[in-house]
Amino acid sequence: MTAPATPRSAMSGKAIVASQFDRAADLINLEGYMRRILMSPFREVQVEVPVRMDDGRIEVFTGYRIQHNGARGPCKGGIRYHPDADHDEVLGLAAIMTWKTALMDIPFGGAKGGVTVDPKKLSKLELERLTRRFTQRISIMLGPYRDIPAPDVNTNAQVMAWILDEYSSRHGYTPAAVTGKPVSLGGSLGREEATGRGVMYVMMEYARDFGVPLKGSRVVIQGFGNVGGHLARLVAAEAGAKVVAVSDVNGGIVNEQGLDVPALLAHGAARRPVSEFPGGQAITNAALWTIPCDWLVPAALGGVITREANARTVDCRVVVEGANEPTTPTADLILAERGIAVIPDFLANAGGVTVSYYEWSQNLQQYRWTHEQVNRELQATITKAYVGVRDLAKQRGVTFRTAAYAIALQRVAEAERLRGN
Ligand code: NAD
């Protein structure tokens, strides 16, 4: 099965996932009925969310919670607030969560939620009212053994604290009902940096296996938020890599000698764009993709590596998908033809959900792990997943993405069969 030659703009998140799904399902000869079960969501709700604005008006937003699959455990996935969040996007992301939790072999299924809203236009109080009302409307689906939300684009630990409060007001104090909480409300140490840290652990393994030593290597990162910022800090400080360029929504910055990442993080903490950092030369967002490097890490948005824009011209040895769905299927094929390896999103960026699992376990046990323990367990879990993918890719002569999908599909299909389907 070949991927459709459709640009991202004309292809929904659902269609992207479907084309990649088919390739992996063919590899493991998945039965037709099982494909149907695994492609369709288990349960989905759309809700209207009326919110009283500060000026007294009531504005009505639309929200979604989609549980893609719960055969292996409670559904798990973030909630995003974004003007483009719609049914298809949320469904595609919910499916990725199913494959991510299965690939990591953690006892969760996959879900995602979203509200179609531009949170930058809301005051903090409006955001709180929106969160509480959305939580009320979807609460019938939630619970520590049913469906556990987490932060995603434009939601954070504070939003999770409001969800926890709203849920607990009906069910009693239930910290395990949501992850990505503030540490003082039962959040896990190490959760905030977990996705970036997981990306680094996967890069370390790949570096060892494929002779792209991380120490002294050139790293370019799109996005300097939670994932990109922590990754930049960690690969420079703990792996000795040279972060030569990063970008944010306003533009990028390059320094051939390697950026001073702690200074750049301090600059960003003062809400200044990275392009105004004095320790490098400003570049446009488009120019970021042309910088020669060993590791290219999209860590901002979906659909940024495309046939039209940059798949034929990026100058790197490995693309590491820090963001969800940054590479279109057509671009994926072009990169493969060019001999550029791609470490897929649901392997590379699974550190966040893995530490969310540790957070949930700590809440259920009412016991706190140390930061060192969290990092140690994360490294063990993500490395084990990486090794499985690497070995299957080699054995079957397929890409890391197809191998990762095949492993995940196999695990979810087995759980479905054992449960009677
Ligand atoms: P974030 O909001 O903290 O940071 C996003 C960064 O991308 C910001 O620096 C922003 O300025 C930048 N950005 C936005 N538009 C850009 C553009 N056009 N060009 C260049 N940079 C741009 O988000 P995050 O939590 O770091 O998430 C980034 C990606 O990683 C998303 O795709 C998210 O779904 C995925 N992801 C995040 C986590 C997590 O734990 N945070 C886990 C798995 C996957």
Where residue 122 sits, what CATH number does that domain have?
3.40.50.10860
Tens-place pLDDT, residues 89-138: 999 899 999 999 999 999 999 999 999 999 999 999 999 999 999 999 99
Q: Provide the annotated active-site residues.
A: 112
pTM over 0.85, yes/no? yes
Helix (H, G, I), strand (E, B) or coil at 128: helix
Say whether pLDDT at 1 is over 50. no
Last residue of a domain, one of 300, 333, 348: 348
Q: What is the pLDDT of residues 6-30, one digit of tens each?
A: 333 445 555 656 777 888 999 999 9
Alpha helices in 150-193 (DSSP H): 157-171
Quick one: average pLDDT of 210-234?
96
237 and 99 both lie in a single domain: no
**How many structural domains comprise the chain?**
2
Same domain, 198 and 344: yes
Element (H, E) at 226: helix 226-239
Cβ contacts of 377 within 8 Å, gap of 6 or more = 358, 369
What angle, rounded to 10 degrees, do the helices at 400-418 and 13-27 form? 80
Distance from the alpha carbon of residue 127 to the mean position of ligand 1, in angstroms: 20
What is the span of the domain harbouring residue 333?
Answer: 194-348
- CA dihedral sign, ordered 301, 303, 307, 308: negative
d(CA 412, CA 101): 10
Average pLDDT over residues 329-349: 95
Residues 247 and 141 in one domain: no
Q: Are residues 205 and 334 in the same domain?
A: yes
Which residue, chain included where needed, has tokens 């349960």?
Answer: 43
Ligand 1 mean position to 229 CA, how many Å?
9
Same domain, 203 and 118: no
Residue 222 Cβ inside 6 Å of ligand 1? The answer reads yes
| Sheet with 75-82, side-by-side order of all strands | 43-52, 58-69, 110-116, 75-82, 147-151
Q: Are residues 211 and 159 in the same domain?
A: no
Radius of gyration from C-alpha coordinates of the chain:
21
- C-alpha–C-alpha distance, residues 217 and 239, integer Å: 10
Separation of alpha carbons 420 and 94, rounded Å: 23
Model pLDDT, residue 301 = 87
C-beta 225 within 6 A of ligand 1: yes
DSSP-based three-state secondary structure for 307: coil
Do residues 156 and 242 share a domain? no
The domain boundary residue, chosen from 348, 380, 397: 348
Q: Is residue 406 part of a domain?
A: no
Q: Give the Cα separation of 75 and 108 in Å (integer).
A: 6
Concatenate the DSSP letters of all residues of 34-73 into one string: HHHHHHS-SEEEEEEEEEE-TTS-EEEEEEEEEEEE-TTS
- In tens, the pLDDT along 312-322 reads 999 999 999 99
Distance 164 CA to ligand 1 centre (A): 24
Distance (angstroms) between ligand 1 centre and the Cα of 273 equals: 14
Which domain CATH number covers 338?
3.40.50.720
**Ligand 1 contacts CB of residue 155 (under 6 A):** no
Task: Give the domain-ending residue among 315, 348, 381.
Answer: 348
Which of 246, 249, 354 gets mutated to test ligand 1 (max ligand atoms within 8 A of its CB)? 249
Contact by Cβ (8 Å): 116, 62: yes
According to the model, what pLDDT value does residue 376 have? 98
Residue 59 has pLDDT above 60, yes or no: yes
> Given this model, what pLDDT does residue 20 score?
79
